[in-house]
Amino acid sequence: MIAIIGVIAAGVAGYGLYRKLESDLPDYRWLADYQPQQMSRIYAGDSRLMAELAAERRVFVPIEAIPRRLQQAFISAEDQNFESHQGVDPIALARAIVTNVEQYGSGRRMVGASTITQQVAKNMLVGSDRTILRKAREALLAIRLENALPKPRILEIYLNEIFLGAQAYGVAAAAQAYFNKSLDELTISETAFLAALPKAPNNYNPLRYPEAARIRRDWVIDRMTEDRVITTAEASAAKAEPIQARPSRRPDMVAVGGHFTEEVRRELIQRFGQEQTQGGGLVVRTSLDPNLQAATEVALRNGLMAYDRRRGGWRGALGKSASGPTEWLPALEALPRPPGMLNEWRQAVVLEVRERDARLGWYERPNPRVPAEPRYGAVLLEDLAWARPVLPAQPGQPPRLGNAPRRVSEVLSVGDVVMVEPEPNRPVPAAATPRSAAPAGPRLERLALRQIPEVEGAVVALDPNTGRVLATSGGWSYERSQFNRATQAQRQPGSSFKPYVYLTALEAGIPPNQRFLDGPIEVSTAQGVWRPGNYGGSLSGGYVTMRSALERSLNLVTVRIAQQVGIDRVADTVARFGVIDNMPRYLSMSLGAGETTVLRQAAGYASFVNGGRRVEPTFIDSVQDQRGRVIWRSQARECAGCEAGPDGQPPRIAENRQQVADPIAAFQIVNLLQGAVQRGTGGRAGAGLNRPVAGKTGTTDDYKDNWFVGFTPDIVIAVWVGYDDPRSLGNGETGGSNAAPIFREVAAAALQGSPPVPFRAPPGVALVRITTDRGESILETFRPGTENSATAPTEGGGGSAAAARVDSGLGGLY
């Protein structure tokens, strides 16, 4: 009777324990749709890796893509009855109990009996506490998982989640980490080794414990033979094979495009969220052209350095350091590398200063495991003409510079730490022989003194036919500033805005040979009278054509054109082009007093090339999920006939981009902007390109912003140069002198090796030979029927010889 009562009591207690465990069980049903965290990868347009985004280095592989032999190896090593048990293996459990009883008191680690399903439950749901209650919850969850999920799904989660050492989660990451192979390239020996790792990954690292790794691998091979996964002959061959670990190196990544990559990352987070971006295993294909990106960054830096050497002066050394013959090298090694210092530059310490040269020391370390190698060089006075002292200046104005140095000591002092660039192709003159600071001989190299410019800039290069951004640089260095001045900085476009005003006039039916007065104009505002002027205060003293006004960037004519067509229509044009969404209705806006970004300007000009269709700039071509399915694509255009066979009609891609301007008017602007490069302010942009180039300079009030936005039929490039805190670049510093040369350098790299292509004229446009204001004979573009529609200028249309007076807002830019 007592026994019966005991059995009943035990049953009640067991049932109570079961109900308690059941009530505390976590929800396991989400595992049916679970996708392991894995790194996302961003690729350039040529399929080179740009960046990896991940919290854990994991590569997810669907179960159907994991070789069956690898699956069987893990089953043999970890859970021989996986295919037949229901979550818990009673036979393995009993065997483990007997073994542990026999080994009790021996000091050996207790033998476990967890199935693969139990390990999934432990890793994903209940944690790894070493308690009996945790094991009970684990077993109960494993049984429920077996009822809820198919065996292949459980095994898929296990093989992709398990930690296998070497910072590798999952079998695919482990195969790369240990052998630099994909799963289908693994040998039987390598497969067995991976299956040996779950028990204690760090104890079986073949680089640290080769013998332990071999013993454990051979044990797995025996289990695979016992389960008839491999034959006896295959097992013997596998055991004879040494474990040759070939740890994978991280793949070579594109070394340029930091601002581009960051723009892609931000867009991914905006589209898919932080968690999916960093752990969703996304494969992101971008439009980046790495070669053009490298050329773009070099061109921008060259332009900024040229301005800095002309206007920036020498702002002094980075600091002071020991300069003695023995202590200078360790002191220099201890200094941090300045953010933004170029890879080819070096930090150096001044060891000796003479009247016409200075001796400096720096170091090279080709391999981080070898000691630094001291190097010596000379900076010559003849290379320091640009290093003029910076004098106090008025707020908002460029620095005033002193005279060029007459001796090196005016620039450098012993102990100064400066940035230099070795110039191996320029020998040191014999007169600059070393004294005591450096040994004589060929190791004395010529050095160029360097400094990071304060001025900044931005470039965007995109394909006008698709809007794909091929390259972009958001400043001197992504390392120094992650702020992307190409996409985030709102700056006044100055005269690079004028083509939208002229396009509005062309759409209104005004022909390009219509004449307007280039004379004084007054604008009444609430703050007083605004009197805009042309750049430099010049006046032609008469009437000029629209073409001549745009080529010469005449402000007074532009204001009159905006007055005639109406500032409301100009605002509508720039909104349709996506340049400025809600432009204030002031006449000063016609001179570029509004604000926009470099990216928006590039896209707006691309619409000119594209026949007046709106161009949406894109950085990402497509995004695939971890199973290879395309979940987003930038070009969502219908293709009629793309599914047809080789005998069908050629496919036709539907044009679904918005028509934001009349095609003939857009081509007329292209033709006018060609003149701006050939005969106008943008002459330096097309020098040496030997192909049709169109574009427009922009210089804002007080020279605070310099622009050039230009294009060929194949590429659009927008360039901006200025200070982050808007201040003058200096009198005479214009878009034609600072931004246009950068454009030319980027365009030369983009178009290298490609034949010249003419701009495509739309159907119906009329080409008529005319004589320009300067007496040149050119082909002018007209809308059919408007060839002779230019009217004599009147006070209402083109203005009068006297100053015209209109009402509008404030502003005034060049």
Residue of 696, 689, 710, 712 whose CA lies nearest to 547: 696
Write the CB contacts of 135 (distance below 8 Å, at least 6 apart in sequence).
none
Collapsed DSSP state (helix, strand, coil) of residue 557: helix
Nearest to 51 by CA among 264, 247, 249: 264
* 578: region left, alpha or beta (phi > 0 left; psi from -120 to 50 alpha): left
* Short-list 532, 507, 509, CA closest to 522: 532
CA–CA separation, 277 vs 287, rounded Å? 18
495 among known catalytic residues: yes
The answer to whether the beta carbons of residues 436 and 414 sit under 8 Å apart is no
Instruction: Say which residues have a Cβ less than 8 Å from residue 163's Cβ, sequence separation at least 6.
Output: 169, 201
- Tell me if 96 sits within 8 A of 113, measured CB to CB: yes
Cβ neighbourhood burial of 420 (10 Å; 0-12, 13-18, 19+): buried
Distance from the first to the final alpha carbon of the chain: 108
Residue 133 burial (CB count, 10 A): 13
- Rg of the chain (C-alpha set): 36
Pairing status of strand 716-722 against strand 705-711: antiparallel
Can you give the three-state secondary structure of 177-212, one letter per residue? HHHCCCHHHCCHHHHHHHHHCCCCHHHHCCCCCHHH
Residue 755, helix vs strand vs coil: coil
Phi, psi of 653 (to 5 degrees): -90, 120
Name the residue among 231, 160, 218 with its Cα closest to residue 189.
218
Catalytic residue among 78, 263, 297, 551: 78
Residues in the chain: 814
SS3 assignment, position 145: helix
According to DSSP, the residues that pair with 548 across neighbouring strands are none
Residue found by looking up tokens 């007074």 in the block = 556
Known catalytic residue at 776: no
Catalytic residue among 114, 287, 321, 495: 495
Torsional sign, CA 225, 229, 235, 241: negative
Q: What angle do CA 464, 468, 469 make, to 5 degrees?
A: 100
Cβ-in-10-Å burial (0-12, 13-18, 19+) of 639 comes to exposed
Residue type, 252: D
* The two three-digit tokens of residue 3, written as one number: 């026994």
In this structure, the strands spanning 469-473 and 373-380 are unpaired
Q: How far apart are CA 798 and CA 594, in angstroms?
A: 25
Query: What are residue 445's phi and psi, to 5 degrees?
Result: -110, 155
How would you list the strands of the sheet with 456-462, edge to edge?
A: 469-473, 456-462, 716-722, 705-711, 694-699
* Joined tokens for residue 190: 């390598």
Q: How far apart are CA 589 and CA 592, in angstroms?
A: 5
d(CA 494, CA 702): 11
Closest CA to 288 of 484, 51, 475, 480: 51
| Cα(475)–Cα(720) distance, integer angstroms | 10
Active-site residues: which are they?
78, 495
